[in-house]
Structure 1
């Protein structure tokens, strides 16, 4: 495949050549002079036909861009950026045949230090901690959105327990080794080709197949938004008015996600893709012993307003 911006071209195959060891050995044994003098013996070369031909690739029916989706990440977070690039490379140039179910975890393989992944922030038990493979979920989430826009059938998808920063609530797809996966079915009458490129803080995933007749629009609606009261820990080593942030608060959400399909400018159908719940996490502060919680809370609000 020769992948262009919004189309795919297929290059003709070329036969290869390699040394025929058996035939060359026989030629050498037959041609060796009995006296042991030097002589030149031509090596036997055989032609090799490629296992995949242009005609076979044409039968897959892949020629046009169907959908693409892009997210951003911070290249300065080296471990996370590395994991995004590594998982994207595993996706790149993947072919999904008609009727086949694609599994993200099966495609990228084991997420471990041994397979090249590094430690970076991940969500575990509603907390952000360091763990192997942090950032891989951004790749799965980006692919999820591309699959939605390509109007593919989503067979498995799970949201994070906490809202992520790189996508609106309801549009993420968490994956965990031996746990939640992202799966979708190629319900098209042709094969699909995935491309994934991560560089310079930009991750783009494209799905190629045949030009779509329908247009897909994804909409999200926040049904509920809430926050938990902050928690305060008395620290006798702090001076009055001094505050130390132990943990930033994270809002909780309930989100409804819909896929709307249009054909020839007319609304064809609406599909409720998911109803997701994200937990809230309270902010935690260390405060001076001499102050009441109400006084310290006021200091926290004043500091936040000043920033």
Structure 2
């Protein structure tokens, strides 16, 4: 039906581990006609008891560490493959910051008990989900009985939001020196839609809404003055 892949630049070891674990849990899942798939129900809860480790998570416009950090990459690829398969999206939430592995407007975040990614199988036949993480790249595909129409993503940037610099004093640094702790990143407001080409050559536009991503500051530590 559709497939998607994404590479995560410079993942930490636990993040890579969590993504691979979640992909293995997801692989082989069959979604029956009319059934609503839920990532949290299929893969969660993202706890140590289920084998997940502490990994990076976006929270309040900053990067923190929580158990299961990294599983949002699973949600983002599920979202992309579901959209390209032209199934009904029931629930999807964007990150607070842009992510490096999919374009703005094409990501999805999950948090067990709060945010989920869900889609309804409206194809009339079962859907088999395949997923595999190899190295730093996650691969995902949906297999079904019907070939979906051709679907294309489109985005329009409505506003760019600049980052800023915060300076923090660190008495342990050498006199007169400074170091960049966080590089910071710009924010963006983006409108997303898809075009669906039917078997008759008709082009149908489907709006997916507007997502707003916050900027995060560039953080610089400064040592004592000379």
What is the TM-score normalised by the length of structure 1? 0.68
Q: Secondary structure at the match of 1:266?
A: coil
Q: Which one of the candidate residues 127, 142, 145 is aligned to 1:210?
A: 145
2:24 match: secondary structure: helix
Contact 2:125 2:146 in 1 (8 A): no
Report what 2:134 is aligned to: 199
Structure 1 residues 84, 179: closer, same or farther in 2, change over 3 A? Answer: same
Q: Which moved more, 1:185-194 or 1:196-205?
A: 196-205
Aligned to 1:68: 3
1:247 aligns with 2:182: yes
| Alpha-carbon displacement from aligned partner over 1:181-213 (angstroms, at most 9, x marks no partner) | 000111111111111111222211110112425
Equivalent-residue separation in structure 1 for 2:10 and 2:178 (angstroms):
31
RMSD: 2.0
Q: CA deviation at 1:288?
A: 5.5
Unmatched segments (≥5 aa) in structure 2: none
In 1, Cα distance between equivalents of 2:25 and 2:169 = 49
More strand by share: 2
Q: Find the counterpart in structure 1 of residue 121 from structure 2.
A: 186
- Higher gyration radius (CA): 1
Tell me: CA distance 1:188–1:76, structure 2 relative to 1, closer, same or farther (3 Å).
closer
**Match of residue 137 from structure 1:** 72
**TM-score after normalising by structure 2:** 0.91
Q: List alignment gaps of at least 5 residues for structure 1.
A: 1-65, 292-307
Kindly report which structure 2 residues correspond to 1:268-279, keeping only aligned pairs within 5 A, or say none.
Answer: 268-279=203-214
Q: Is the Cα contact below 8 Å between 1:75 and 1:200 reproduced in 2?
A: no
Which structure ranks higher in relative contact order (CA pairs < 8 Å, sequence separation ≥ 6)? 2
Number of matched residues? 225
Which deviations, in whole Å up to 9, do the C-alpha atoms of 1:256-293 show, x marking residues without a partner?
Answer: 111110124734211111210111112122336659xx
